[in-house]
């Protein structure tokens, strides 16, 4: 990530506008564009679960004394509607290491050696 940030900074410098802030904004835009498909999938999954919420509450109310039957009915509901209750978590788990690397790159960036031409 630091290499990419340095490359973006050098690119802004070559355009005659050397700016750390602009390099960070460009890096942020690149990361957001790359993660858009994952974010879209996460939002889609979240909306699908929200739409099922009334049915979920109904099932929970009906089978609250029988946890095994409750679990079975919930799985049937999810399969019937093609929803994965963990579908919103997986994209987030994939993004976490990238954002940690981005944070680390930003934290160490001022110490990176940048040559001006």
Range of the domain at 49: 2-111
Q: What is the pLDDT of residue 10?
A: 87
Number of domains in the chain: 1
Among the listed residues 63, 59, 98, 65, the one whose alpha carbon sits nearest the alpha carbon of residue 80: 59
pLDDT per residue, tens digit, the chain (117 aa), is 778 888 888 898 898 888 888 988 998 899 899 989 988 888 888 899 999 999 999 999 999 999 999 999 999 999 999 888 887 787 888 888 988 988 888 887 765 555 655
Which residue is associated with the tokens 């110490």?
A: 111
Distance separating the N- and C-terminal Cα atoms of the chain: 22
Which residue is associated with the tokens 């079975």?
A: 72
Please list the alpha-helical segments (H only) found in 63-88: 67-81
H-helix or E-strand spanning residue 56: helix 20-62
Q: Is residue 33 part of a domain?
A: yes
Q: Is residue 42 part of a domain?
A: yes
Q: Is residue 19 part of a domain?
A: yes
Q: Is residue 117 part of a domain?
A: no
Q: What is the pLDDT of residue 115?
A: 60
Q: Are 2 and 23 in contact (CB under 8 A)?
A: no
């Amino acid at each position: 990530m630091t290499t990419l940030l340095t490359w973006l900074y050098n690119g802004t410098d070559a355009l005659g506008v050397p700016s750390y802030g602009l390099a960070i904004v460009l890096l942020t835009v690149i990361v957001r564009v790359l993660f858009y498909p994952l974010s879209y999938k996460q939002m889609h999954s979240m909306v699908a679960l929200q739409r099922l919420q009334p049915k979920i509450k109904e099932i929970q109310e009906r089978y609250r004394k029988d946890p095994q039957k409750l679990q079975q009915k919930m799985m049937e509901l999810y399969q019937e509607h093609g929803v994965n209750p963990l579908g919103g978590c997986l994209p987030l788990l994939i993004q976490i290491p990238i954002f940690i690397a981005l944070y680390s790159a930003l934290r160490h960036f001022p110490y990176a050696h940048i040559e001006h031409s």
